[in-house]
Structure formats: structure tokens, C-alpha cells
A and B are shown apart, each in its own frame.
Chain A
Amino acid sequence: MNTYSVGKLGMAEGIALVFALVTPRLFLSRLADALQQSGQLVWLSMIIYTIIPLLILFMMVYVNNRVAGNIVVVCQQLVGNIGAWIIVVAYSGMFLANSALLLRQYAEYTLITALHQVDFQVVITWYAVTVGIICYLGIESLCRTGYIMLPLLVGGPILTFVLVSPFYVAYNLTPWQGNGLIPALQLGITGGTFNFGVLSLILLSSAFQDAKTIKAIAMYALGGTGVLRIVFALVYIMVFGITVGEEKVMPYFEMTRLVYINEYLQRIEVLFILVWVILGILSIATSLYIGLYLIVVLLKLPALRPIVPLGVSLVAQLAMLPPDIGYTIQADQWLTQISQLGLYFFPGMLFVIALVKKRGKKTCADL
């Protein structure tokens, strides 16, 4: 078996895969940005940007049903060799860039929240080494680790929501239209790229049993993540309000800092750091794996493992390029915009071509 074989992934592993790819930014600054744009109506944006990627995934499942084979073969059949190269290289680049920017942000936030005295290079190196080892083990191990960790990754935030309940001010959820309907709709459309990772199910489609399984995974994973996101946003607004909420670099960390149960049980944010660090490592490793997998498939290389150290090194170097955290966040926003190509343009184009080719295909009766 080739070391890049994606093996066999079930429903649980698939859900963990998508969860790891679409949730890490929930623990970073993106919620604060979303509040600035949508205000109290952020929940509507979140519903929209859960539904749109789901529909796009269904379109891609349709394409996959029309043309059998991995993503390179599908693209070659529909848009030719050059088109396939452009599409696959673009997807690979997006996943690798995602991995690099997440690595930088998680390293920065680890420095801010936990390891204040440690040198930046040390933190980023150890994140990269850990990611490299996990990535080296392969996608099956990655997804199963994610599945095992899933109760902690979901339970941690839910426990936090309960523990900060003394700080809830329900009236912060009003005025209910927030900054207006139009900004919320705009964010709903552009924010679809937060769920761009769901396309990994198509990129790794050969690992799943059938199209029905892929659809079910996408619905459960995006639905569950969507609910978690919405509850997270509503709790965050109730605790911090919109004005203060917009200021926070790490919404989740700030909520955990408020936890005060009694004299003996307080200042326990370090326990919750585990939640987002584990999620971050899984997410960086998964993105890195998919980025490298696409290169391997495109170049028809015999194995993936030998290029993992190279990939880790590349991602770590990229992560260290931005001069400061502000630039990193800006670069992350650019990536979100560029990812719209991967979410809207490529799938839309492949879907239309697949539709047209189906109609153009002549049946025996036509001859």
C-alpha cells in the first residue's frame, strides 16, 4: 500500500476530520471580527455560512458521481490537464497556507496565554515538530485521534458556557438586527470559507464508503459545528456585549478567564487551553496532510511520508514570515478571501461542466 493511501474512514472519522478543519478559527479572533460586521445578527451569518458550503459539497458529490476517480482524475476529465493542475495546485496551496497561518496564530496565542517567557521560535518549532509527527502517522490516525478527542473538544466549550452563566446579560442580544441585515448577509456569503474544509471530504473521497456517507458526514459535521458556533456567539455576546466583544483577541480564552466557581476553583483558564491547543494541532496537521496529499496525487509520487518533513519545514518557515500578529491576522483574512475561489468558483465550474457534459452525452438511441 502506498503511504499516501487514505485508507478507510468511517462516519466518525469523517466528522472528526471536518470538525478539525472548520472549527479552529472559532477559538481565534474571527468571532470578534464577525461581531464588528454583523453585531447581534451574527447567528444569521453563521446559519448562512453553514448552509452554503453544504450545498457546494452536494454539488461536488454530484460531480464525483458523474466522473469516477480522485480529484486529479475528475478535474482532468472535466477541464483538461492544465485546468486540473491549476485547480489541484490552488487547493493544495490553500490548505498549506491555512496550515501555516494557523500554526503562526496558535503559536502566538500560546505565547500570549501560557508560555510568556518562552522564545517564539521554540514554540513554533515544537508545534511544527508535533504536527509533523502526527501528520507522518497518516490521515487515519489523525482522524481517529480527532474522534477520540471530540468529546473534550466539544465538552470544553459547553462546560465554559455553563461556568460563565453568572455573567450573562440577555439584553446584550438586542437590538436584534445588530448592524443590519445586509452586513449579516454579506458575512454569511463571504464567511462560507470558514467551512471551506468540508471539501476535504471530496478531496479524500476514495477513503469513504460512498457518496451517501460523505453527505451524511457533511451534514452532521457542519450542522454540529454550526450549532456550536451559534451557541458560542450568543454566549459570548451575552457575556461581553458587542462593543467589548469586538475588542478581544481570543474570545474563548477571555471567557475561560472569567470562570469563578469559588475561592478554591478559579483562574482555571489553563485547563481550557488544552482544548484549543489540541484542536489547533489537529487542524494544522490535517491541513498540512491534505495539502501534501494533493501534491503527491498530482505528481503521482509513490509515497507521502518522505515529503512530510519538507512540508513541515515549509509551513513553519511560512508561518514565521509575517512580521507581527496584526499582519498574520490580515494575511488570514486574505486567505479567507482567496479561499472563495476554492469554495465557490472551482466547484461551481466543475458542477456546470459536469452538467453540460451529461446533457451533451449521446445515448444509443440518438445514434
Chain B
Amino acid sequence: MCRPLMLLISLVYISLLIVGCNGARELDERGNIIAIGLDTSDQEGMIRVSYQFAVPQPEGSKEDASKATFTITNTAPSIAEALNLTNSEIPSQPSLSHAKVIVIGEEQARKGLSAIVAPFMRYYEYRGSMFVLVARGTAKDFLEKNKPLLVGDLSKYYEMMLTTGGYTSYYLPTTLHEFYMRLKSGSGQPYMVLVAINPESGEGDISTGKVPGGKIDGHKAGGIPRQGGNPAEFAGTALFDRDKMVGSLSTTESRMLAMLLGEYSHGFLTVEDPLDPKSFVNINLRLGDKPKIKATIVEDRPVIHVSILLEGDISNIPSSINYEQRNLEILEAQINKVYQQEMLNLIRRTQELNVDVAGFGYYLRPAFSSNQELEDYHWNEKYRQAEIFVDINTKIRRNGLMVRTVTAE
């Protein structure tokens, strides 16, 4: 009787000790960092690291989310040292285990990230599911001026902004894991979400103009013509050649990139009305299938064929022309023409920068029989030479809630 009892007691004792309660910390002893900002410093060999902390709020608090945060910026030789310094500035122990985003200032991104990304992959408090962003201007500025609305806390704000990015595909949420994979793969180049603080003047900047037949201009973060709301905005994509930022895409170009990546969820397209060029037509478009991409090597030159099927619903025909029962093909052809041009523009632009952000190199991998052959081909240096053909095929499946448009007498 005594032996089993002793055994039971010892097992319970062991289980209590090995579950980790001895390392437990009270919630208010932890300073939870939600966002990390990285900027260049004027001092040689130093980096400016900003930590945005969440201030714990009582359940159901009506407090404004932006007031439930504070940001500390330290200039230090490394991110780890900046974290050490932070411990001298706040009463709680800084913890990165709840960090959602890493924001990198544009200047730092253009300087290179390889030395910065390495600790993120090694230290246990960081994880691959954190999102990575590039801030036009400085990361510090972005974190300090970001005043989230609609959501109760900062952590939820970042998460919602980035998980709803696929709604329009005007920016492509990128995790640290995805960035690092691209950085090391050799079959494509990395990209990140572009963010900025908008001056809210209502004017904005046009980054990419309309293509023939199109009605939409492309903007980049900080350039959306608007007034009011949170000045922080997410729009466009930062392009990298290995670890260095070399350019960026606008909202419309990012949408094309999303299609090539097969991540385009749906979004409204506004095109010129083909039968009444002064007017426009709105179509709610989505990918009908994953993009079909075939890559081959012809006489040492990569040749890529892209075929994209789009499905759409008509959402607005202000001209009152009855496309629903007649002329649907004309409308489909108009969409094909606009998207074909936008897609070719995107590809031309990425080829000019020699950054294969669409990951065409992955489709070329089966053409090689070993990793050595693949490495010897140096795809990222050959992307510029690739001949790329694009075929867009649009099918309008539904007419919205109207079966036909009846022109007024």
C-alpha cells in the first residue's frame, strides 16, 4: 500500500515541477511589446530600435486603443542591446512573445536587412508568423503616429489590418517566415507590406497612372487622397533584391502581384464602359482558379506562360447599357485588355528592377534535376532575360441583383 502511494505522490510532485510554474511571472510584471521598429542611426554602427508596448487594460475598458500604448526608442548597436536598455526604462520585464509586427524604416530597408533578420530567426521569442512591414519615412514615426480606430487594442489592430489585406489585395500581408524563405530560396525575391503616415491633405499622390481602358490610379502608402481617420495606412508592396529594398509597387500593381501569387481574393475593378467611354463599369472580380504558370528554358533563356482565369459579378453599370443579355463578351474583353496591360506593366517593372517577386523561379525548378544545377543557373540574375507571356481570361458569371438593365424612355 505504501509503495504505490509513494509512487503516486512522487509522480504528482514531478508533474507540478516540470510544467514550468517555477518560471511563472505575473501579468503586470511583463511589458508586452506589440511592434518593433527598426531605423538607421546617424551614429556609425548603431541602429534605432523602437518598441511599442501594450498597456494592459481592464476587461471591457472603453479606453482609446491608441492611449493604451507607448513607444520607446533606443539607439544601440543591436536589437538585443536596445531591449536591455528598455529594461532600464520601464518597471516590467520586456517580453517579445506577443510581438505581432516588425516595422522597418525605408532607409534601413534600402541599406540591407540580412544582419537584422538573423536574430529574428534564432531567438525563441520571435516567430515566423510575425508580420513584416516597410515604413515610408521612419518606423519610429509610423509607430508613434499610428492611432488605431474601431478596434480596442493595438495587437488586434495589427492583426486585423494584416489578415484583411486579402480583401482587396492592395497590399500583401507577409510574414517573417515568408520573407526569410524568399531571401534564402534563390527561386524568387522577397517583398513586404508598404506602410506610411498619410498627411491627410485630401490630395494624395498617383504612383501608377491608368492603363488604356482603365479607370483606376495606383497609390502607395502615404499617397492615398483622403482626410480623416487613423493617419497610418497600409498600401502597396516593398520590393527586395535579396535583403535590400530596391523599389515598391502601388496598390494596383500589388493587386496584379496577388493574382500571380494566387492570393487574390476579390476586389472591385472599375473599367471604362466599352460602349460608352465617358462612363464606367464596376465588376467584382475574383480568381476563378489558381494561376496556371508554365516555365521552361529555351536556348538558355527562360520562357514563362501565365494564364489567369478571372470570374466576376457586375456591380454597377451607370450607362444603363444592357450588357447582361447582350454584349457580355465586349465587357469581358475590356476587362481582359485592362488587366493584361496592368499585368505586363507589373512584369516589365519587376524585370527592370530584376526582382522576381512573383516567384516564377519556383515554376522553373522542375526543369533542373539537382540542387547544384539549380544553383549554377542563378535564376535571380536571369529573371531580367525571361520572356513572359500573359493570358487573362475573364468570365462574368453573375449580374448582381439585376437580371437586366432597362433604359429609361
Q: Which residues of B contact A (CB under 8 A)?
A: 7, 10-11, 14, 17-18, 20, 22-23, 97, 121, 124, 127-129, 156, 159-160, 163, 177-178, 180-181, 184-187, 362-363, 365-366, 368-374
Does more than half of chain B's interface fall in helix, strand or loop, or is it mixed? Answer: helix
Q: Which residues of A contact B371 (CB under 8 A)?
A: 39-40, 175, 178-179, 242
Which of A115, A117, A171, A263 touches B187 (beta carbons < 8 Å)? Answer: A171
Please give me the residue from chain A that is nearest to B22 by CB atom.
A118
Minimum CB–CB distance for A39 against chain B, Å: 5
Instruction: Tell me the complex Cα distance, A167–B128, Å.
Output: 11
Verify A257–B370 contact, CB threshold 8 A. no
Q: How many A residues touch the partner, as a band?
A: 35 or more
A-B CB contact pairs (8 Å), 21 listed: A39-B371, A112-B124, A116-B124, A130-B18, A133-B11, A171-B366, A174-B365, A174-B366, A175-B365, A177-B370, A178-B371, A243-B184, A244-B180, A244-B184, A247-B121, A257-B127, A258-B128, A258-B129, A266-B129, A267-B97, A267-B129
Question: Is A3 on the interface with B (CB-CB < 8 A)?
Answer: no
Minimum CB–CB distance for A145 against chain B, Å: 12
Total CB contacts across the A-B interface at under 8 A:
90
Verify A174–B368 contact, CB threshold 8 A. yes
Q: Which residues of A contact B (CB under 8 A)?
A: 39-40, 112-118, 126, 129-130, 133, 167, 169, 171-172, 174-180, 240-244, 247, 254, 257-260, 263, 266-267
Q: Which residues of A contact B156 (CB under 8 A)?
A: 263
Q: Which residues of A contact B127 (CB under 8 A)?
A: 257-258, 267
Please give me the residue from chain A that is nearest to B125 by CB atom.
A116
Please give me the residue from chain A that is nearest to B374 by CB atom.
A175
Q: Which residues of B contact A172 (CB under 8 A)?
A: 185, 362
Instruction: Tell me the complex Cα distance, A175–B375, Å.
Output: 11
Q: Which residues of A contact B368 (CB under 8 A)?
A: 174-175
Q: Which residues of A contact B180 (CB under 8 A)?
A: 244
Instruction: Tell me the complex Cα distance, A266–B131, Å.
Output: 14
Minimum CB–CB distance for B83 against chain A, Å: 14
Verify A176–B129 contact, CB threshold 8 A. no
Verify A177–B369 contact, CB threshold 8 A. yes
Verify A126–B17 contact, CB threshold 8 A. yes
Verify A169–B23 contact, CB threshold 8 A. no
Please give me the residue from chain B that is nearest to A179 by CB atom.
B371
Q: Which residues of B contact A263 (CB under 8 A)?
A: 156, 159-160, 163
Q: Which residues of A contact B366 (CB under 8 A)?
A: 171, 174-176
Instruction: Tell me the complex Cα distance, A242–B20, Å.
Output: 34
Verify A126–B14 contact, CB threshold 8 A. yes
Please give me the residue from chain B that is nearest to A254 by CB atom.
B128
Which of A117, A174, A241, A258 has most B Cβ within 10 Å? A174
Q: Which residues of A contact B178 (CB under 8 A)?
A: 167
Which of B14, B187, B362 touches A129 (beta carbons < 8 Å)? Answer: B14
